[in-house]
Amino acid sequence: MKKQATFRFYAELNDFLSADKRQRPFFYRFWGNPAVKDAIEALGVPHPEVDLILVNGRSVSFAYRLNDKDRVSVYPQFELLNIEALTRLRPKALRQPKFILDVNLGKLARKMRILGLDTLYENNWTDRQIVKIAGEEHRIILTRDQGLLKRSGVTHGYWVRAVRPDEQIKEVILKLDLFSYMDPFSRCSLCNGKLEVVNKKEIEDQLPARTRQYFTEFYRCRECGQIYWKGSHFQKMMRFITELKKVQR
């Protein structure tokens, strides 16, 4: 006999649902006793976006098997509410966040590196490679592809809602609260390598004439050798951070 449970998704999890299911309880019909994780993903919500599931008022894990007439409430990550006594579904948050981005987020990757966030990106990586690297290096996957987050090996991930890179970087910093992890001008925007101070005399022949004239402090990527100096792009990024902190407050 076919069974049914009542589901209700909260906050930004509604972004993944069809319009008729958003911000309201609805019936989910099923055969047998599927895992609640399978039901959630069948409805379109990637499991890394979920942080708490209550069934009939009791917290459960993804492995919980649905029963007829269950009432299921599904919540996203809690930023301010302490729910440690309940069954949190993801491993403990990564203390020093590191990221890996899918092929659609190249411009976002560059902006994150400029802010000093450890960010891997290659425009030819497959979804399988991204999931493998994320697992091995304990990285958070950022993606515009909801299907990528539904892969079983994904534990930490976030679906970026914004389309424009300027809005994407704001969204990621605010949503993941990355202010304390930013270290502008510490990473190479091209390869993610760490920057180090370099003597101007060592790289003078590689500099444009006006740069040699007006700047004295230079940095070089340890990995690819790219040269950097705090020009107008650096000032622009610092203004961006200042404005973003105003939004945070």
Q: How high is the pLDDT of residue 235? A: 83
Q: How far apart are CA 134 and CA 156, in angstroms?
A: 8
Average pLDDT for runs of 10 along the chain of length 249: 94 92 96 96 94 93 96 78 52 72 96 95 96 93 94 90 94 88 92 96 92 92 94 83 75
What pTM, to 2 d.p., does this model score? 0.74
Q: How high is the pLDDT of residue 124? A: 95
Q: How high is the pLDDT of residue 87? A: 56
- Tokens (6 digits) for 156: 């930490």
Do 227 and 200 meet the contact criterion of CB atoms below 8 Å apart? no
Q: What is the rounded radius of gyration, in angstroms, for the C-alpha atoms of the chain?
A: 22
Q: How high is the pLDDT of residue 82? A: 45
Q: How far apart are CA 184 and CA 9, in angstroms?
A: 37
Q: How high is the pLDDT of residue 239? A: 87
The three state secondary structure string of 134-185 is HHHHCCEEEECCHHHHCCCCCCCEEECCCCCHHHHHHHHHHHHCCHHHCCCC
Residue owning tokens 């990564």: 94
